[in-house]
């Protein structure tokens, strides 16, 4: 009888400890899955950047052409990042609770962590048109299908994500 009373008193403490442990473990994969993950550092991609720096970040251009005014244009398509998913994060949290934290261990020890292995549909690709002068320095950054002025110069660049 005495052991039964002790077990009843320790049951809430065990439950609280289990919930606390699961919450600590779940925050890792859940947070990684829910947030935006940029793939390209766009800090250096500004007017005046060299073509070498731009292609180092965005890869080779998909199309290139010259305007009648002599300005060289290059169109780039690159992976800008991975979109966070609230649905996936909710499922990760559920799996953490359902497996008492074992899901976090499985996610971390697999060769390609499940929370980082996003399907291609979750990738955010961006297209950018860059104009260059004869010195191979960027004169302007434009959205696709934007009207490019004859001199190829744009305003300041503000890189945003969805």
Lowest average pLDDT, out of 10-24, 48-62, 121-135, goes to 10-24
Using DSSP's 3-state secondary structure scheme, residue 156 falls into coil
pLDDT at residue 157 above 50?
yes
pLDDT at res. 40: 73
Cut 0.85: pTM above it:
no
Q: Can you read off the two tokens belonging to residue 108? A: 């971390």
- Greater confidence, 24 or 138? 138
Q: How confident is the model at residue 158 (pLDDT cuts 50, 70, 90)?
A: confident
CA dist 140 and 153 (Å) reads: 5
In this predicted structure, what is the pLDDT of residue 74?
Answer: 95
DSSP track, 63-97: EEEE-TTS-EEEEEEEEEEE---HHHHHHHHHHHH
Alpha helices in 35-155 (DSSP H): 51-58, 86-98, 102-109
């Amino acid at each position: 009888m005495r052991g039964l009373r002790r077990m009843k008193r320790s049951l809430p403490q065990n439950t609280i400890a289990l919930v606390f442990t699961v919450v600590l473990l779940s925050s890792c994969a859940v947070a990684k899955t829910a947030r935006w993950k940029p793939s390209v550092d766009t800090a250096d991609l500004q007017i005046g950047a060299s073509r070498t720096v731009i292609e180092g970040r965005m890869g080779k251009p998909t199309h290139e052409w010259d305007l009648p005014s002599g300005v060289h244009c290059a169109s780039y398509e690159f992976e800008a990042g991975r979109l966070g998913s609230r649905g996936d994060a909710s499922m990760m949290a559920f799996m953490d609770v359902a497996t008492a934290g074992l899901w976090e261990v499985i996610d971390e020890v697999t060769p390609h962590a499940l929370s980082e292995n996003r399907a291609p549909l979750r990738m955010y690709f961006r297209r950018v048109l860059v104009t260059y002068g004869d010195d191979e320095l960027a004169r302007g950054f434009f959205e696709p299908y934007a009207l490019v002025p004859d001199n190829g110069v744009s305003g300041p660049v503000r890189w945003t994500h969805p």
